[in-house]
Amino acid sequence: MKETSGSIHAERLPDDLSVDQVLRVFSEEPFLMLFDSAASAGRGDSRYSFLTADPVQMCRVDNCEFGQDPLRRLREWQSCLPSGDQRELPGFCGGIAGLMSYDLRHAFEKLMPAEPDSFATPALLAGLFDWAIVWDHHRRTVMLYVLSLPVSFPEERLRQVRRRLRCAGAPAMPDGPTGRRPVPFQSSFDEHAYLQAVQRVLDYIAAGDIFQASLSQKLTAAWDGSAVDLYARVRRLNAAPFCGLLKVSEFAVVSASPERFLKVRPGGLVETRPIKGTRRRQRLPIADLYAAEELAASGKDRAENVMIVDLLRNDISRVCQTGSVQVTGVCEIEVFETVQHLVSTVVGTLRADRDVWDLCAACFPGGSVTGAPKIRAMEIITELEQRSRGAYCGSLFCLGPSGEFDSSILIRTFTLRDGQVCFPVGGGIVADSVPRREFEETLHKAAGMLRCLDG
């Protein structure tokens, strides 16, 4: 065992210990979380994967009211974390992690609530974790970290995790989808109703109410497998930079998100990377290249992206140093398993009197999944979608002892509960959107997710 500081213990594990193996060993642990970037090999965000479970403390907020501070307890936890050298530690090696559902927005803005459905999730569910297993995909190492916290027993945790890891053999690989039996699913909209909803958004745009709103349809299907089985399929068939899993007794969230919400590095450097603009991947390389060129040249998609960039610049400016907010990348093509996207990058530096939780409050939910202006767009989304989004368009997040924070936007995301799974798909509607094409775009986004369910 190696000590990286007096209160953070690090231990080298076998380098060939896979994410699949460890995930199955700890699959029945309470409050299991996995943040997994291995599937995005070659990308800047592909260095680490983290697994943790069984927090020493938990925070749950089911119903938010405007003006309350649901993140207060997380701020208190952060003050108890041991300090760590960012040069030695990964971004997360234990610390604070959890789920911010879309309904957390009610704590930050006065909004009418949507009707909950059977896939509702807590507005906030977070844990204070005293351990993590970390894969460094650049160095090809696997490490176990255990933190000494005021409410933890590090030696006992170390023995517990070691005991479990002795059970890690070859991973049991789930059967892959055959493609011959497409899973039947239902939507919260039929095709005609979705086209009408898109037209209603266009009417609001024409009336000057908004510039853009992100509309979605919620797809649901039966799923009799485990969350870990589904995650294994997602990891193999719909790879993305911000794959993740949260599993608790009531529900599970399985995500193949391509999108970062917020990242904060030690020293307060903030980054957000909104996605707007989508094309389906093509089988032939030349056709795929043509689709990318057409997307990059699309005035409609670029306008949609730039609107959200402006919104996010405004959001992070509320807590960042004057003059520090900059756009460092605009409408860059990024290619994923089943789609291509336009991605932009906005950065800034936190003010000395603001912290990461103030940043979350200023920016949540992400502008790329709401629209502009944000508050009016959210009101219209509630009117048209009617049901609560739950985890969808929320965020999985983690913060470690070095002070580094990272989080995803929960798109391309499944919520599992009681033998059912829901997986909403949507897109941004702007003035020159064509309802039929918007509907088809949601199907393109659903394609990779349906592959994971097909059996």
Please identify every residue annotated as catalytic: 259, 276
Structure tokens belonging to residue 158: 């170390």
Structure tokens belonging to residue 323: 């003059």
* Those residues with Cβ within 8 angstroms of residue 276's Cβ, 6 or more apart along the chain or in another chain: 301, 304, 305, 307, 308, 341, 342, 344, 368, 428
Structure tokens belonging to residue 336: 């994923």
What is the full DSSP assignment across 309-360? HHHHHHHHHTTB-TT--EEEEEEEEEE-SSEEEEEEEEEEEB-TT--HHHHH
* Those residues with Cβ within 8 angstroms of residue 332's Cβ, 6 or more apart along the chain or in another chain: 342, 343, 344, 345
C-alpha–C-alpha distance, residues 446 and 243, integer Å:
16
* Those residues with Cβ within 8 angstroms of residue 139's Cβ, 6 or more apart along the chain or in another chain: none
What is the Cβ-side half-sphere exposure of residue 415, based on CA atoms within 13 angstroms? 28
How many beta carbons lie within 10 A of that of residue 173, not counting itself?
A: 10
How many beta carbons lie within 10 A of that of residue 370, not counting itself?
A: 26
C-alpha–C-alpha distance, residues 143 and 9, integer Å:
10
- In DSSP terms, which residues pair with 242 in a beta bridge? 257
C-alpha–C-alpha distance, residues 396 and 355, integer Å:
18
Rounded to the nearest 10 degrees, the angle between the axes of helix 299-317 and helix 356-363 is 130
Q: Which whole-number Å values give the CA distances from 244 to 126, 171, 319, 401, 415, in the listed order?
A: 15, 18, 28, 20, 12
